Structure 1
Amino acid sequence: MTSEAVIIERLKNKSAVIGIVGLGYVGLPLVIRYSEIGYKVVGIDINQDKVDGLNQGISDIEHISTESVQTALSQGFRATVDFSEVESCDAVILCVPTPLNKYREPDVSFVIDTMESIYPYLRSQQVISLESTTYPGTTEEELLPRIECGGLKVGKDLFLVYSPEREDPGNAIYDTATIPKVVGGSTTTCLQVGVELYKQVINQVVPVSSTQTAEMTKLLENIHRAVNIGLVNEMKIISDKMGIDIFEVIDAAATKPFGFTPYYPGPGLGGHCIPIDPFYLTWKAREYGVHTRFIELAGEVNASMPEWVVSKLMDGLNEQKKSLNGSSILVLGIAYKKNVDDMRESPSVEIMEQLRDKGAHVSYCDPHVPEFPIMRSHRFELKSVDLTAQNLAGYDAVVLATDHDKFDYSLILDNSQLLVDTRGRYRESYATVIKA
């Protein structure tokens, strides 16, 4: 049998061992899904504490239950920091971070370092899938040469695909199984194997002609959101100057049954994808002599929103004859989106840093983030304060940055001296509320 026939048969009869590298917001849901379908899964991560916790049946991600991890363990899942385990895997799925560096250029070092770590253990009759968001060409330019330098031939001995992650933490409607999966292969044979890898666990697999097409698809999805959010954020600023409620405008426009999709403004962009992915394309486009003005303009607008929120807060304090310097400010919600514990690229943190730099005394309340985590670029030694009437009244101002459903919005309104609403929770006009 050919190598592709062997791996396809193993995937079909579920005798294939699935290796998942990176056990975070993307990798761990895949662990759960492959395990519940009946595959043996090996999870690899460089964080020993995470690995130890998972092997004890403990989830460190709020929306992934401890029970689901324990069930996966009972079905044969185990986590490790040992990359040599890759040799025992028939499929290896890479789910590692792809951040930006300080110059807002793509940092694919995690992908490259992971590839270097697994390279000694690659063998024939394996499929390698990269899920990390990246610029078009990464799979062919960075992964393929490293695989083939040892003599393995992609498309004949080993099969290489790119399939962008589409996880949406906290989404109660769509999950790993129900979100369609785009797959592109380095060769047509690679594509066939890649489709087989995912069709066992995903309801709909969408094959495309190349890894570059799949990589560009992911970028388009997130750039589409970034540009539209940038547009509505700019509309918010214009509407504010004109005394118009942008949320009322959006709701009215959304009644049009065609040609309009509602996007809502906020304090900035957050999450690992939307604030970052557009810059992957702008960087790659320069190689082809293209300046992505439209995308970069949207990025500038979105990046300026935390400063806009702080300026609105300062205006409100000034009206009360208070200075931001020395004022006590409570930030409500520091996760990047409602009802999750995900802090990646959260605009709330940018707001907190700007407030601190201007001399304010900053606290936060977030029912999903009890203690401010250690982050690569941000540092606060804070714990979430209790949301009580007495606590609220003790702050000079409260900034609603992330509108978690767990917040008591009547309590917040009734007890805040000054409330800056960045999410449109308070649609009516209130003397103490500033809409930002």
Structure 2
Amino acid sequence: MSRRAAQQTRSRRAGTPDLAGRIAARTAKVGIIGLGYVGLPLACLFAEKGFKVTGFDIDPKKIDVLSAGRSYIKHIPAGRIRPLVKAKYLAASGDFAGLKQMDAIIICVPTPLTRFREPDLRFIVTTGEEVVRHLRKGQIVVLESSTYPGTTTEVLKPILERGGLKSGRDFHLAYSPEREDPGNETYGTAAIPKVIGGDGAKALKLAKALYDGVVVKTVPVSSPETAEAIKLTENIFRAVNIAMVNELKVIFDAMGIDVWEVIEAAKTKPFGYMPFYPGPGLGGHCIPIDPFYLTWKARAFGINTRFIELAGEINTLMPRYVVGRLAEALNAHAGRALKKAKILMIGLAYKKNVDDMRESPSLTLIGMLEEAGAVVEYHDPFISRVKPSREHGHLTDRRSVPLTAKRIAAADAVLIVTDHDNVDYQRIGKHARLVVDTRNAMEKSKARGRRIVKA
């Protein structure tokens, strides 16, 4: 055997040079596990950049929809998916044996909380157990799921090494936190810098090369633990500041001061201030959950995260505040109690212009209102029916109602929870007997009405 051939053989055994070359040439096959709000746009992005991508998911409905070139997420149109499937750059599969053919495996599975607000890593664990069955030398595995510092190396790595392969020697492991903002038309996946922490220098180099091919910028950091901490820091920053303005809303309301007017004027200061906005409670998969991942981990070091937990407590109590304001408004303007009152709720999604209802405060509000004896209907132009959820299973298959003048007028109160842009607020203002607005949507749309109460 020639010296060059021997070097090539050693390179193939080591995995790194061959994989780096395939990444550079875009011949590396990319497998993405979890085709939800994080995994699907990432799969589309890699496919659009010339990589052959296979998305893996345990939901056969998602596999069927994607294989037919259609979409199940509102802000990812079928027109983006169809040409990628047709050109065979994007495929979907429920057969995880196909992971063995992948050069890069990216894990984008949920990381919820238990009912006791402790990390629930079962999806990461079961995914790791599936990956190790098909893991081979030379692959890189990247975890993107939001989690506490130490998950990649303390939880996922030991699972992947059960088959006898070692991280840094036989395969490579990294963590790169997802930074998706569903519905954000300015910052899509490709435009958001990617933080990367590798389990060793080779893993970091390979992960950086992989993401360099698809995003505007990569930000390498010293370890997976640092990358995991960065993700939590970003979302805790938002959670704490939202809690602050939610508390200010309650205080200023008692003083007869409009918090929205305060924020609009305050943000004219060109330094030292960043606007955050109050609401009916936190939603989505990150901000309501990530702070509790850090508080749980901090307890292992004997540290109490009082500031973070206080913010979580304030945000968690906001739906109760909204219900209280609604009850007060009904009594003051209609002379009636919440019991048997007809409430038309606007918005089921956790944020405007998306079809994502994960951890939405709307679900909590429906439950609280109905427990108080109110009759609740909802209208959401993006969510035609309530999908199954762990905490609100009794609402499954509840249907969105049309936003007609007759239905608005029949309600004792219209409760605006999500400020979708394509809702006719003028119609609401014209026909509603009472509007309780948690998003300042009526004022922002310049809608007028007889009775509008901010909550």
TM normalised by structure 2 equals: 0.94
Match of 2:8 in 1: none
Pick aligned residue for 2:377 from 356, 363, 370: 363
Please list the CA deviations of residues 289-310 of structure 1 after superposition, one character each: whole Å capped at 9, or x if unmatched: 0000000000000000001000
Please list the CA deviations of residues 414-434 of structure 1 after superposition, one character each: whole Å capped at 9, or x if unmatched: 111111000012348965111
1:334 aligns with 2:348: yes
Match of 1:351 in 2: 365
2:61 aligned counterpart, secondary structure: helix
8 Å Cα contact 1:160/1:185 also seen in 2: yes
Distance 1:28 1:430 in 2: 41
8 Å Cα contact 2:429/2:450 also seen in 1: no
8 Å Cα contact 2:132/2:162 also seen in 1: no
One-letter amino acid of the structure 2 residue matched with residue 72 of structure 1: L
The equivalences for 1:19-418 within 5 A come to 19-76=31-88, 77-319=90-332, 320-378=334-392, 379-380=394-395, 381-418=397-434
8 Å Cα contact 1:40/1:75 also seen in 2: no
Distance 1:387 1:431 in 2: 18
One-letter amino acid of the structure 1 residue matched with residue 189 of structure 2: T
Structure 1 residue ranges (4+ consecutive) displaced by more than 4 angstroms after TM superposition:
428-431
Q: How many angstroms does 1:149 deviate by?
A: 2.3
8 Å Cα contact 2:196/2:204 also seen in 1: yes
8 Å Cα contact 1:365/1:384 also seen in 2: yes
Q: How many angstroms does 1:376 deviate by?
A: 2.1
Please list the CA deviations of residues 228-257 of structure 1 after superposition, one character each: whole Å capped at 9, or x if unmatched: 000000000000000000001001110110
Distance 1:425 1:167 in 2: 24
Distance 2:121 2:273 in 1: 36
Residue-pair matches, total: 436
Distance 1:46 1:383 in 2: 26
One-letter amino acid of the structure 2 residue matched with residue 62 of structure 1: K
Please list the CA deviations of residues 378-418 of structure 1 after superposition, one character each: whole Å capped at 9, or x if unmatched: 13242111112111000011100000000111111111111
One-letter amino acid of the structure 1 residue matched with residue 105 of structure 2: V
1:79 aligned counterpart, secondary structure: strand
Distance 1:179 1:355 in 2: 39
Q: How many angstroms does 1:182 deviate by?
A: 0.3
Match of 1:420 in 2: 436
Distance 1:38 1:271 in 2: 31
8 Å Cα contact 2:280/2:318 also seen in 1: yes
1:169 aligned counterpart, secondary structure: coil
TM normalised by structure 1 equals: 0.98
Q: How many angstroms does 1:62 deviate by?
A: 0.4
Please list the CA deviations of residues 124-168 of structure 1 after superposition, one character each: whole Å capped at 9, or x if unmatched: 110000000000000000111122222212112101000000010
2:239 aligned counterpart, secondary structure: helix
Distance 1:314 1:158 in 2: 59
Please list the CA deviations of residues 107-137 of structure 1 after superposition, one character each: whole Å capped at 9, or x if unmatched: 0100000000111100111000000000000
Q: How many angstroms does 1:50 deviate by?
A: 1.0
Q: Over the residues paired in the alignment, what is the CA RMSD in angstroms?
A: 1.1
Distance 1:146 1:287 in 2: 22
1:324 aligned counterpart, secondary structure: coil
Structure 2: segments with no counterpart, 5+ residues: 1-10
Structure 1: segments with no counterpart, 5+ residues: none
Taking only the aligned residue pairs, the percentage that are identical comes to 51
